Amino acid sequence: MGKYAQDAKELLGLVGGRENIAAVSHCMTRMRFVLADPSKADVPGIEAMKVVKGSFTQSGQFQVIIGNTVADFYNDFIAVAGIEGVSKDAVKQAAKQNQNALQRIVTALAEIFAPLIPAIITGGLILGFRNCIDSLYLFENGTKTLCDISQFWTGIDSFLWLIGEAVFHMLPVGICWSVTKKMGTTQMLGIVLGLTLVSGQLLNAYAVAGTAAADIPKWNFGFIEVNMIGYQAQVIPAILAAFTLVYLEKFFRKITPQVVSMIVVPFCSLLLAVMASHFVLGPIGWKIGSVISSVVYAGITGSFKVLFGAVFGFVYAPLVITGLHHMSNAIDLQLIADYEMTMLWPMIALSNIAQGSAVLGMILLQKKNAEAQEVNVPACISCYLGVTEPAIFGVNLKKGFPFICGMIGSALAGIVCVATGTAANAIGVGGLPGILSIRPECMGSFAICMVIAVAVPMILTMAAGKKKLTASERGTAAVAEENETAKHVDAPKELRAFLSGKVIPLKEVNDGVFSKGVMGEGLAVIPESEVLYAPADAEVTVVMEDSRHACGLKLDNGMEVLLHIGLDTVDMNGNGFTYEVAAGQRVKAGDALIRFSRKKIKEAGHPDVTVCVITDPGNAEAIQFHTGMDAKEKETVLVTFA
């Protein structure tokens, strides 16, 4: 048995069992599932697991964040589940069955740009460093740059442009390669196609605007002339050209006899793709890209730029959840190509910083909660360095209010960002180091925006958290300070009947998860009453807002108890169930938790047997379950422990 075997068994039950898993793999921090029926996944139950840091659905995949130990967890999971894992590419292919048309387009864009991001970020950092040495006038009373006073740094500046030019001017080469790689066609043909778009024989794209129409070089075919224009740094022309090559190659593979395929397929595919790219697709793609960038540029610089900044700053983090944020890569690169700068990327970096700052607020709120800090601290650090996933999914979305606070801070920073005309020369690291990619004259205004993105979410999160977080969530010091009156000197020793009815062992419950003890040991009651009562003094930790059929409690000795009314009653969507409590509320033994209708449960075709599972024993020892009797609510002792 592996270290995570028990947790793996629990997760298997909560995702709907082996039969609900169409495919599974893992990446650096996450388990990636494609589920046959995503609605069968018990998301609150999954996120309640100690080993789980969060979960989300993206691009048709249900992803469970485990952390750095995901590889070991994955090995135990496939062993427990008795299934074979597959590659990430196979999972992506399987996930497409759960995607609509827009999601497939976004996924395709993400998969095209994902392999290019490391190079683009590297190029952005290099350009940012060059900004610092050749454009910041810091010497001789603000009249000279470091390059002006040092031949060494002048040489460094010139040398680094070798990499910067390769990344940004030659971007179409990378795009064409990435498209052919994604689509499974000949990658070398994609590289060659990309090179024809940026060839030195062509008029450089950056020189087109300053060249008179009569001076633009042309191919003269006698009956027609075609402009010899390059597409350096152009995104859409490269994408259109690459997909044309892909589908031409697939077409010729299909119709060409195998014996001459090696000659005919690459020759015809590449020749026609290059012709289409320069004769038709290139000019059209250039125009489309220019229209998109001009619309975005108008939004950022026009009369309503403050509104644009507020809206974009507010919605960017939610776009990350849906995956739609990947579209911003293409827009940013097009803005850089057309205007030699982007005012969009600084707001993206500020949004990331704001989400990290919301986590910083949680760190300060939960400074006495060691368990929470194990997630909070690394999530905050990674977010400030441009990796937002642990912060958004592992912390902010779990509580909700930090995510909103981050969005508000991002919106305010976005307003100041566009109002001051802050722009970047390139895409860089989407966090605090992002200031290196900002234009030198805008670094001061961006620094102000960063202060806003740090301070506002942190302050708002702390203010909201003092009201929304329970004493136990804030840590031991907060418990002593805020909940002294509710603190029990004597640890609980028993759980009393939560319903009137016949008490049966858990194994007699006709349910694969509960009966097998996947979620923990316990017992069940076949009810004769219709009010679920607290079996002991406790804090309400989990409620199901939509279905209202279950409740999680945490006792003062650390024991965690799940009370679940009926089997599969989640399908009733709350019809017949009414909560009497809310998450974070302190309850006494015998307080009403949930009112329910046995009649409606039976009419829906579900058993009304109510389960009590101890999901975490806490400090309790020698736990004994008393079954095989008729219980009276609030009186009969069902569980005893030391």
Helices and strands of the chain, counted as H and E runs: 26, 20
Q: Which residue has the tokens 């919301």?
A: 358
The answer to whether residues 439 and 131 touch, using CB atoms and an 8 Å cutoff, is yes
> Across the beta sheet with 61-65, what order do the strands follow?
21-26, 30-35, 61-65, 54-58
Non-local (6+) Cβ contacts of 569 within 8 A are 547, 549, 577, 601, 604, 606
Q: Which amino acid is at 548?
A: R
Is residue 269 within 8 Å of residue 244, measured between CB atoms? no
What are the DSSP calls for 49-81, one per residue?
STT--EEEEETTEEEEE--TTHHHHHHHHHHHH
Rounded to an integer, what distance in angstroms lies between the CA atom of residue 5 and that of residue 603? 38
CB count, 10 Å around CB of 79?
Answer: 14
- C-alpha 410/C-alpha 351 separation (Å) is 5
Q: What share of the chain is helix, strand, coil (3-state, %, to 5)?
A: 55, 15, 30
Structure-token pair, residue 39: 């609605």
Question: Is 27 one of the annotated active-site residues of the chain?
Answer: yes
**Which of 22, 19, 12 lies closest to 49, judged by CA?**
12
DSSP letters spanning 262-294: HHHHHHHHHHHHHHHIIIIIHHHHHHHHHHHHH
In whole angstroms, give the CA distance from residue 266 to residue 628: 76
| Identified catalytic residue from 27, 383, 405, 449 | 27
Helix (H) / strand (E) element for 23: namely strand 21-26
Tell me phi and psi for residue 200, to 5 degrees.
Answer: -65, -15
Residues belonging to the active site: 27
